[in-house]
């Protein structure tokens, strides 16, 4: 085959994906959160890993999270296509075929789990495998389209990375790992429900049974407040364990006070007021929720650094 | 006359091939580095080289 025939054949498939399209399948923004929380889980653990092992552990935890993202994009291509926020993803946009997304997801799932096992231990690998299964099957295939509690239970998938990081270092689960899990697990519902309040058209159009669609917006506001209040003891509890210290506790108190005030303000508002200022309070709460999680985990990290210098910790 | 006209498709294909190639190279390097770390630290390894190994015997038999 000459170069010219190769070119003619090639023009028949103008949407051949580039490498970046496959990277987009892995949800890089979600991966960055996974990398950060898993890294904190690994670094605050009482057992140290060799830097190469630690790097490999974080890399394969992130890759596993990316794989579950690709599986999610394969399964949810139909609803992604009708939501403004997700319509430009590689599969609904036609840049990557759904079958390719499935192949990438399955392939990377296998590689990430086996490599995490080889790099660290089987408990961490089993947890990663369960996380991928939970996100792809339990959340994406089952809960997302059937129950308004989808966010609550699906949030567990995003909560596992710091626990996996901890287990990669220590080989077992502990109270600290469970509380880091609990922190993200309880944080997820208010975070996403705030988003659902001001992105209402998206979920409604896609027919995803978000709480805002099934139980109404007033109930969603009440749920945000309740889950934010339930988050407080988990966050303070984590600060009182061996990964916490005075600094972490002070940060936790300040962040949770701020978060509860935000949730209270959301609960007090009605739709007319929210519409009038274009959901300013809900948007501010959503933005702050990102900072809330980042600062919580950053505090654990700083506390661990202080402890190693003989300053922090209880 | 050129037989290889520039086309966006070629760029995307090149970027994909380059990305996959670099990823594989990085993966090989990482596996090598992991192997070096684990071997140097002497993690549980056992060479079955037909040599008498007292450490593998039950405790009572191992005693002289």
Predicted ipTM of the assembly: 0.80
The pLDDT, as a whole number, for residue A12 is 43
| Mutate: best of B8, B23, B33, B39, partner A, most A CBs <10 A | B33
Q: From A170, A73, A63, A175, select the one nearest A124 (Cα to Cα).
A: A170
The domain spans of chain B are: 10-41
Q: Provide the pLDDT for residue B44.
A: 58
Residue A160 · residue A182 · CB < 8 Å: no
Angstrom distance (rounded) from CA A78 to CA A73: 9
Q: Is the pLDDT of residue B51 over 70?
A: no
Question: What is the distance of C-alpha A148 from the center of its chain?
Answer: 18
pLDDT band per the 50, 70, 90 thresholds, residue B62 = low
Put simply, whether A5 touches B (Cβ < 8 Å) is no
Residue ranges per structural domain of chain A: 19-170, 174-314
Average pLDDT over residues B7-23: 87
B15 pLDDT tier (thresholds 50, 70, 90):
confident
pLDDT at A219: 93
Cβ–Cβ under 8 Å, residues A227 and A186: yes
What's the gap between Cα A277 and its chain centre? Answer: 29
- Cα separation, A127 vs A167, in Å, equals 9
Give the per-residue pLDDT at A10.
Answer: 42
Residues of A in contact with B7 (CB under 8 A): 7, 10-11
Residue A8: predicted pLDDT: 43
Q: Looking at chain B, which residue has its C-alpha nearest residue A56?
A: B30
Cα distances from A10 to residues A15, A36, A98, A310, in angstroms, run 10, 41, 20, 63
Which CATH number describes the domain made up of A19-170?
A: 1.10.357.140
Q: Write down the pLDDT at residue A312.
A: 80
- Distance (Å) from the C-alpha of residue B61 to the closest C-alpha of chain A? 33
For residue A53, give the nearest of B12, B16, B34 by CB distance. B34
pLDDT at A150: 86
CB–CB of A7 and B5 under 8 A? yes
Stretches where chain A sits below pLDDT 50 are: 1-12
Handedness of CA A122, A128, A131, A132 (dihedral sign): negative
Proportion of chain A above pLDDT 70, given as a percent = 96
A16 Cβ under 8 Å from any chain B Cβ: yes
Average pLDDT, stretch B33-45? 82
Report A:40-99 residues touching B (Cβ under 8 A): 50, 52-53, 55-56, 59
């Amino acid at each position: 085959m000459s170069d010219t025939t190769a070119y003619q054949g090639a023009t028949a498939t103008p949407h051949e994906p580039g490498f970046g399209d496959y990277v987009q399948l892995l949800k890089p923004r979600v991966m960055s959160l996974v990398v950060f929380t898993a890294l904190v889980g690994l670094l605050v653990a009482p057992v140290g890993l060799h830097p190469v092992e630690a790097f490999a552990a974080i890399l394969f935890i992130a890759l596993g999270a990316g794989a579950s993202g690709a599986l999610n994009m394969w399964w949810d291509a139909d609803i992604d296509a009708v939501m403004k926020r997700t319509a430009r993803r590689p599969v609904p946009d036609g840049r990557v075929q759904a079958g390719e997304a499935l192949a990438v997801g399955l392939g990377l799932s296998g590689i990430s789990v086996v490599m995490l096992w080889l790099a660290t231990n089987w408990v961490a690998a089993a947890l990663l495998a369960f996380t991928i299964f939970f996100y792809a099957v339990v959340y994406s295939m089952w809960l997302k389209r059937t129950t308004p509690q989808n966010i609550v239970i699906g949030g567990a998938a995003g909560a596992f990375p710091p626990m996996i990081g901890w287990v990669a270092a220590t080989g077992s689960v502990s109270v600290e790992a469970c509380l880091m899990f609990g922190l993200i697990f309880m944080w997820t519902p208010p975070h996403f429900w705030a988003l659902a309040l001001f992105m209402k058209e998206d979920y409604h159009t896609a027919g995803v049974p978000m709480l805002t669609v099934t139980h109404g917006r007033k109930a969603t506001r009440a749920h945000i407040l309740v889950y934010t209040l339930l988050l407080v003891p988990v966050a303070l509890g984590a600060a009182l364990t061996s990964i916490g210290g005075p600094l972490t506790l002070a940060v936790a108190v300040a962040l949770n006070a701020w978060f509860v005030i935000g949730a209270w303000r959301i609960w007090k508002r009605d739709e007319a007021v929210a519409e009038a200022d274009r959901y300013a309070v809900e948007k501010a709460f959503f933005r702050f929720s990102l900072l809330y999680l980042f600062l919580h985990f950053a505090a654990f990290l700083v506390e661990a650094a202080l402890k190693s210098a003989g300053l922090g910790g209880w | 006359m050129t037989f290889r006209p520039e086309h966006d498709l070629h760029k995307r294909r090149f970027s994909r091939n380059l990305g996959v190639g670099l990823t594989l190279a990085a993966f090989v390097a990482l596996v090598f580095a992991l192997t070096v770390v684990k071997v140097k630290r002497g993690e549980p390894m056992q060479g079955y080289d037909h040599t008498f190994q007292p450490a593998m015997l039950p405790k009572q038999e191992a005693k002289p």
